[in-house]
Structure 1
Amino acid sequence: MMALPVMTVEQRARVPVKVAEACTARRRWRRLFTCGAVRENLAMIGHIGINVPDLRTAKTYYDSLMPLLGFTEFFTAEDEFAYRPANGKPGTYLFIYPANEVSDYSRHRTGLQHVAFMVRSRSVVKEVHELVTELGATVLHEPRVFPEYPQPYYATFWLDPFGIMLEAVCHHDRD
């Protein structure tokens, strides 16, 4: 992206209004984007819903996992529950519903392939791996750098109790 020049008040007064508005909008967007303060004017998935065959098992599992991934409980009802990003941060909500039709799930068929959760550090990726291992999850990939993806990409992949592939990924080089 092109660097924006610093102008004096006198110089700014001579800039055509449309150019000045474009520069201001570009600075505002960059400030919002780089600070992580994504607002309603940027596209974002509102929520993802996942059907599971056993809502009680899912609730126990996800209640232990989601806080480590940076999510908090949004609500719980008899026939569904949901999580949202913690501390009022913007992001996608995750809803869990009971499956109305019994069938085997496979990430290799048409439908949901996996859900990736971005976390703040590589240490959190390692902590998630330790937790899901303790919970008895099938770990597909232990925490490591994935050179085949745009860098930095440090992640772990595992299956939840129903075979849904989940991922914790850090896009930073920091611990």
Structure 2
Amino acid sequence: MIDHTGIPVSNPDKAKTFYDAAMGAIGAKLLMTVPKEFTGGKWVAGYGRAKPDFWLTESDAIGPGRHYAFTASSRAEVDAFYAAAMRAGGRDNGAPGIRAHYHPDYYGAFVLDPDGNNVEAVCHRPE
């Protein structure tokens, strides 16, 4: 249903380091940066697998309370996402594991990014 979405980030360098690592672990990568002459001088970058689905925009209007879940193809990818995100400056918000209160096959991991956004990798496959 959602074609793409995005969040504001306060520090493009920290955000890029974090999201390069976290997204790379689930098979996504930085696919596009928009030239600053089209963004009012702000850094804007899109991550995805085949097209930019998740956008980061440099902004002063950041804050916690946002939650974004990314599909992982396996539980091992969820584990790799969590480890990579933590190494890249993330803060634990729920280690990898089954979340049976959602669904018996719901395997997810939650990390707070450098701006306090709750990002998650989730796999719905039984393993």
User: Shorter-chain-normalised TM-score: which range?
Assistant: 0.7 to 0.9
Q: Given the two structures, how large is their TM-score scaled by the length of structure 2? A: 0.83
Tell me, yes or no, if the aligned pair for 2:93 and 2:111 is still in contact at 8 Å: yes
What is the CA–CA distance in structure 1 between the aligned matches of 2:89 and 2:30, rounded to whole Å? 23
1:96 aligns with 2:53: no
User: Rg bigger for which structure?
Assistant: 1
What is the CA–CA distance in structure 2 between the aligned matches of 1:103 and 1:50, rounded to whole Å? 10
Gaps of 5+ in 1: 1-43, 108-112
Q: Counterpart of 1:142 in 2: which secondary structure?
A: coil
Tell me, yes or no, if the aligned pair for 1:119 and 1:125 is still in contact at 8 Å: yes
Q: Counterpart of 2:18 in 1: which secondary structure?
A: helix
The list of structure 1 runs, each at least 4 consecutive aligned residues, that deviate by more than 3 angstroms after superposition, is none
What is the CA–CA distance in structure 2 between the aligned matches of 1:67 and 1:84, rounded to whole Å? 10
Q: Given the two structures, how large is their TM-score scaled by the length of structure 1? A: 0.62
User: Cα gap change, 1:52/1:136 in structure 2, threshold over 3 Å: closer, same or farther?
Assistant: closer
- Tell me the equivalent position of 1:21: none
CA-atom RMSD, angstroms? 1.9
Tell me, yes or no, if the aligned pair for 1:45 and 1:92 is still in contact at 8 Å: no
Q: Percent identity?
A: 30
Gaps of 5+ in 2: 37-42
What is the CA–CA distance in structure 2 between the aligned matches of 1:84 and 1:125, rounded to whole Å? 16
- Tell me the equivalent position of 1:106: 64
Q: Report the structure, 1 or 2, having the larger strand content.
A: 2
Q: How many residues align?
A: 120
Query: What letter matches 1:57 in structure 2?
Result: K
Q: Counterpart of 2:105 in 1: which secondary structure?
A: coil
